[in-house]
Amino acid sequence: MQDKPTYLTRPYLPPLDEFLPYLQEIWESRRLTNGGPFHEQFEEALRQYLRVPQVSLFANGTLALMTALQALRITGEVITTPYTFAATTHALLWNGIKPVFVDIRRDTCNLDEELVEAAITPRTTAILPVHCYGNPCASGRLQQIADTYGLKLIYDAAHAFGVSVDGHSLLELGDLAVVSFHATKVFNTFEGGAIISRDARIKQRIDYLKNFGFADEITVVAPGINGKMNEFQAALGLLQLRHVEQAIAARNQIDRRYRQALRSVPGVQCLPSADGVRSNGGYFPVLIGPDYPLSRDQLYDEFRRNNIYVRRYFFPPISELPMYRGLASAAPANLPVATSIAKQVLCLPIHPDLDGQAVDRVIEVIAAFV
């Protein structure tokens, strides 16, 4: 038993003295929010870092998701994954949209693109997939389906900050992509988020919507919300950008250490890393199969006894929550892969401050039973 707890994640923060000059500037200027100078700088810096056409900053990822659906006037039914964080599906309900669940693929834990067409009805207006754990969705096929049926494609890319495929950011894909800068994510501004869009016109609409719909002092063009990112968050974001590559490298090193060590443990399966993907090391999920001597929950308890805080991301599937389980598409028989993975998954600790010794302790707990 080690006394120092090992957490699933630990928010990354830059050295405090690097942040003080930013705070001083905010205190002196008294520009606290409403598209201040740090907001403008951070938006531009992110656009360049992520190599995407347009960025709209938000106070958090959930408001960004809700606004993305509003911006494209999504209504009726939206096809989505049951294997995600609650915010994805809740954003649909908050917009009065009916989620239609489609099962996931075992190799990526993402929406199974081959099952999407069968779930389309005359009321379907969009597809809302998630790049789960930062694993890229089958975006070529999803875009083709969206084009064929005249649907919008909005990615919940909350896990995908800094992920690229063959040098292209995942965030370029679809009509809109939404990222989160929550404390637990790879890149954080305490709370925060953004919508990545294709062109200046759609960005303009998003920016109206996040500020109550104000186009100017006396013109309100839409029933907008208050989704604005403040200057504290934006200043921190600017500073965090200077450290994020290092943080991702440290995470990816832990990813390699786990993969190497777990290769020889029967019954424990890592998700395959896809070719050409620069991943961000945001999560390290493993599947505890029937060949492993303990059940997933027994191993979870064993970690707790060792002061190691792993998480069952994502369990239960969103489709089993009380506000969704009555939907026809939520039936476990319709979602066999998601249902089975949710019972097997454990996310292991991974964050830039996790040292090699702590990683080895995690591996030892798993290996002790084989």
Ligand X SMILES: *Cc1c(COP(=O)(O)O)cnc(C)c1O
Return residues touching ligand X (CB under 6 A).
60-62, 84-85, 87-88, 130, 156, 158-159, 180, 182, 193
Please say which residue, 160 or 363, places its beta carbon nearer to ligand X: 160
Please say which residue, 184 or 307, places its beta carbon nearer to ligand X: 184
Please say which residue, 257 or 351, places its beta carbon nearer to ligand X: 351
Please say which residue, 194 or 286, places its beta carbon nearer to ligand X: 194
Structure tokens at 66: 């809700």
Residue nearest to ligand X (CB): 61
User: Distance of CA 10 to CAs 2, 6, 31, 352, Å?
Assistant: 18, 9, 30, 8
Could you tell me the smallest distance in angstroms from the CB atom of residue 89 to ligand X?
Answer: 9
Please report which helix (H) or strand (E) contains residue 57, including its range.
Answer: strand 54-58
- Report how far Cα 78 is from the mean position of its chain's Cα atoms: 18
Could you tell me the smallest distance in angstroms from the CB atom of residue 318 to ligand X?
Answer: 10
Q: Report the C-alpha dihedral over residues 270, 275, 277, 278, rounded to 10 degrees.
A: 80
Could you tell me the smallest distance in angstroms from the CB atom of residue 159 to ligand X?
Answer: 6
- Report how far Cα 149 is from the mean position of its chain's Cα atoms: 26
Angle at 334 between CA 330 and CA 339, to 5 degrees: 80
Tell me which long-range contacts 365-368 makes (C-beta under 8 A, separation of at least 24): 365/299, 365/302, 365/303, 365/306, 365/308, 366/262, 366/265, 366/268, 366/286, 366/299, 367/261, 367/265
Could you tell me the smallest distance in angstroms from the CB atom of residue 141 to ligand X?
Answer: 21
Could you tell me the smallest distance in angstroms from the CB atom of residue 359 to ligand X?
Answer: 23
Could you tell me the smallest distance in angstroms from the CB atom of residue 178 to ligand X?
Answer: 7
Closest CA to 131 of 169, 76, 184, 97: 169
Could you tell me the smallest distance in angstroms from the CB atom of residue 88 to ligand X?
Answer: 5
If one counts every other C-beta atom within 10 angstroms of the C-beta of residue 92, the result is 22
Please say which residue, 171 or 363, places its beta carbon nearer to ligand X: 171
Please say which residue, 61 or 281, places its beta carbon nearer to ligand X: 61
- Stated length of the chain: 370
CB hemisphere CA count around 325 (13 angstroms): 7
Could you tell me the smallest distance in angstroms from the CB atom of residue 86 to ligand X?
Answer: 8
Please say which residue, 84 or 108, places its beta carbon nearer to ligand X: 84
Closest CA to 251 of 161, 342, 145: 161
Could you tell me the smallest distance in angstroms from the CB atom of residue 349 to ligand X?
Answer: 17
Structure tokens at 268: 């424990």
Structure tokens at 240: 């965090």
Rg (CA), the chain: 21
Please say which residue, 68 or 365, places its beta carbon nearer to ligand X: 68
Main-chain phi, psi angles of 327, to 5 degrees:
-70, 145
Amino acid symbol at 35: G
Please say which residue, 306 or 319, places its beta carbon nearer to ligand X: 319
